[in-house]
Amino acid sequence: MNQGMFFFDFTQSIIIMACSSLECPFYAPPKGDGHSNEVCLVVDSVKQVRFDKGDVLFRQDQPSCGIYALTSGVVKIFSVTPDGQEQIVGFANRHRLMVGLQSLSHKSYADSAVAETAVTACKIRKRALLAAVSEDPEVTFHLIGALNRQLAMSRALVRVAEHHGAAAKVAALIVLLCPDYENGRVDYPLPFSRSEIAGILGLSEETVCRQMAKMKRDGLFYAPRGRIKIQDWDKLQAVANEA
């Protein structure tokens, strides 16, 4: 959502914001009313924000005040166990995934969120969003869609961890992290360290390093520090789908 791109609709007396993020959950296409601009359904609730790699969006148990619709970058979502260990519970990217959705029904954030790459996002004020939900059924339907996508991602992570064999686990996680490949993209940020990947998959760091090194030798991908470049998508998927 690009702030600063507004016009006034005199026929409906509402403010419309042009939006370049077609994957935002609250993006709505034109309704054939003569306007070429897309509509942000929660325009009055939005502030565009930016984070550098390593910046904290919010911390676990912090009072919740908003949720984030990503327009670029990757965010790591994690919780801290009672013994002080960090446990990664998910991630979010710009593919209609939002950060902090669970806080809509709680006074505080259940997890912490950190930018794993440079991130741009629309921060949507919690109170304003809840008010919009009560007034506009279309906003409610879009919010339900966002919740369903977040649930689907959580289920996908569970399925990845349940794969049989270390190679299949690692390959399946990489496939999950590379959602644009079918559109021709081959280069992605790799937001997690080998140690973090091991924690997500229930493997040792040594095993993750060994499996990734083998896939690199086999020509599946090239993984310089902090990036991954897919070289053979079909082979990568084949490994991910191995029983």
Residues 132 and 221 in one domain: no
Looking at the 3D structure of the chain, how many domains does it have? 2
Domain boundary, last residue among 116, 131, 158: 158
Domain boundary, last residue among 122, 142, 158: 158
The residues near 171 (Cβ < 8 Å, ≥ 6 apart) are 215, 220, 236, 237, 239, 240
Q: What is the 3-state secondary structure (H, E, C) of 86-102?
A: EEEEEEECCCCCEECHH
Cβ atoms within 10 A of the Cβ of 33, count?
10
Any domain includes 57: yes
Segment 200-207 mean pLDDT: 92
Cβ atoms within 10 A of the Cβ of 86, count?
14
Residue-wise pLDDT for 156-190, tens only, equals: 888 888 888 999 999 999 988 887 766 677 888 88
Residues 67 and 27 in one domain: yes
Any domain includes 102: yes
pLDDT at 13 over 70: no
Any domain includes 1: no
pLDDT at position 190, please? 85
Domain of 54 in residue numbering reads as 6-158
Residue 96: give its domain's CATH number. 2.60.120.10
The residues near 157 (Cβ < 8 Å, ≥ 6 apart) are 90, 176, 200
Residues 147 and 58 in one domain: yes
Residue 215: give its domain's CATH number. 1.10.10.10
Candidate from 20-34, 47-61, 95-109, 194-208 with smallest mean pLDDT: 20-34
Residues 154 and 171 in one domain: no
Burial class (CB in 10 A: 0-12, 13-18, 19+), 235: middle
End-to-end CA distance of the chain: 42
Segment 208-231 mean pLDDT: 91
Please state, in angstroms and rounded to a whole number, the distance separating the CA atoms of residues 197 and 189.
14
Q: What is the 3-state secondary structure (H, E, C) of 30-86?
A: CCCCCCCCCEECCHHHEEEEEECCCCEEECCCCECCEEEEEEECCEEEEEECCCCCE
Question: Going along 127-200, which residue ranges are E strands?
Answer: 187-189
Segment 10-26 mean pLDDT: 47
